[in-house]
Amino acid sequence: MSQKVTILGSTGSIGRQSLEVIAACGMEAAALAANSDVKRMEEQARQFRPKLAALMDEAAAADLRVRLADTDVRVVSGEAGVLEAAAFPGADTAIAAIVGMAGLRPTLTAIREGKRIGLANKETLVCAGPLVLEEARDYGARILPVDSEHSALFQCLEGCKDRREIKRLILTCSGGPFYGRSAEELSGVTKEDALRHPNWSMGAKITIDSATLMNKGLEVIEAMHLYRMPPEKISVLIHRESIIHSLVEYCDNAMIAQMGAPDMRLPIQYALTWPKRVSGGPSKPLDLWNCGTLSFGEPDLETFRCLALALESAKRGGTAGAILNGANEAAVGQFLAGKIGFLEIADRVERAISQVPVVQDPGLSDILEADRAAREAVR
């Protein structure tokens, strides 16, 4: 019987690549959910014939219902519709690929149905890591990382029989489009400059996060929760080529690295097929013989202050992650809307962090409140 998959955020970068993997590996798309992209959702529904298609936006969903009237795809709308897709009983697996905090409730809903979760939505773990992982344990939902660094760490840890042997996790970081620039040189960069990532083609929000290096900071917090490691045992290594996706250093100083072409379809596929590996997927082999030199270096925490702010938040724990993330989502939104400059993203995040109090051992309501207050501080 083929694996049946729900894609939360199907019209986005990860969602579309997930559908490519599903098609190539002979899996089934059981339910699709997205925000408002009717055209793309119609195309996906016609190609994959899911049982259910959900759009968050009510008007877009109404339009989709008309467009799909000649099919047997059931169209649902609003948050209830997205949650219905997340809980869809006809799927055994859910790819969590909604961007931002908006992905938290749908991910929790899929977890409570005990599904395998291919987790791309890192903001969910940054805001509510302990809560999400506890629910996953309680409901028997296996979380498999889709983020390439975390998939790499997962693979490097598969041979580890005793966690005490882990010295540290090393997350590689491309450095983004502005690597090597000074703060002065960054003050005038535009949205178009920031959206031009050297190695990866991704959604707008994560592309900006990759330019500020906030993405790497969020990933440190994500790794901290996923692998239950204190922040001081997680390091960031600049590696411009994105060939080594991350490493684990063990107590005997051996380092295990995972390599591959920079192609998200590989970690997506492994999250879907684990513990097996299958051939025939859409990703291309890595030609190490012709890939040139690999380089390594230190991140510049003074210029890329978002990374420093995230590392601080990782140490503070509690709702600090939700405050950092909420402020960052709001500030990136303002930057994309042309309302603030690139360097002001870090200013806004710093202001929110200094204004919103941190609550330790938070429940869901504390997390939602921290997110709200952080967004308000940015505004």
Q: What residue ranges bind Mg ion (CB under 5 A)? A: 147-149
122's contact among Mg ion, ligand NAD, none, with CB below 5 to 8 A by partner kind, is ligand NAD
**What is the side-by-side order of every strand in the sheet holding 244-250?**
234-238, 166-173, 244-250, 255-259
Burial string for 315-354 (b: 16+ CB within 10 Å, else e) reads: eebbbbbbbbbbbbbbbbbbbbeeebebbbbbebbbbbbe
Closest CB to ligand NAD among residues 222, 300: 222
Among 60, 64, 97, 104, binds ligand NAD (CB under 6 A): 97
50 is a site residue for ligand NAD (CB under 6 A): no
9 is a site residue for ligand NAD (CB under 6 A): yes
14 is a site residue for ligand NAD (CB under 6 A): yes
How many whole angstroms separate alpha carbon 289 and alpha carbon 3? Answer: 36
Closest CB to Mg ion among residues 55, 218: 218
82 is a site residue for ligand NAD (CB under 6 A): yes
Report in angstroms how near the CB of residue 366 gets to ligand NAD at its nearest: 21
Closest CB to Mg ion among residues 63, 147: 147
Q: Output the CA–CA distances (angstroms, integers) from residue 134 to 56, 111, 139, 225, in the order listed.
A: 27, 10, 9, 11
Among 64, 91, 99, 110, binds ligand NAD (CB under 6 A): 99
| Alpha helices (H) in the chain, listed in sequence order | 13-24, 38-48, 58-67, 78-87, 104-112, 122-139, 148-157, 183-186, 191-194, 204-212, 214-226, 265-273, 305-316, 320-336, 344-355, 364-378
Among 4, 5, 11, 320, binds ligand NAD (CB under 6 A): 11
Q: 130-159: which residues touch ligand NAD (CB under 6 A)?
A: 147
Among 130, 198, 203, 341, binds ligand NAD (CB under 6 A): 203
Among 84, 123, 222, 300, binds ligand NAD (CB under 6 A): 123
Six-digit token pair at 109?
A: 């809903």
Burial string for 195-222 (b: 16+ CB within 10 Å, else e) reads: eebebbebbbbbbbbbbbbbbbbbbbbb
12 is a site residue for ligand NAD (CB under 6 A): yes
Closest CB to Mg ion among residues 120, 323: 120
367: three-class secondary structure by DSSP:
helix
Report in angstroms how near the CB of residue 289 gets to Mg ion at its nearest: 26
Binding interface with ligand NAD (CB under 6 A): 9-15, 33-35, 37, 56, 82, 97-99, 102, 120-123, 147, 200, 202-203, 205-206, 264
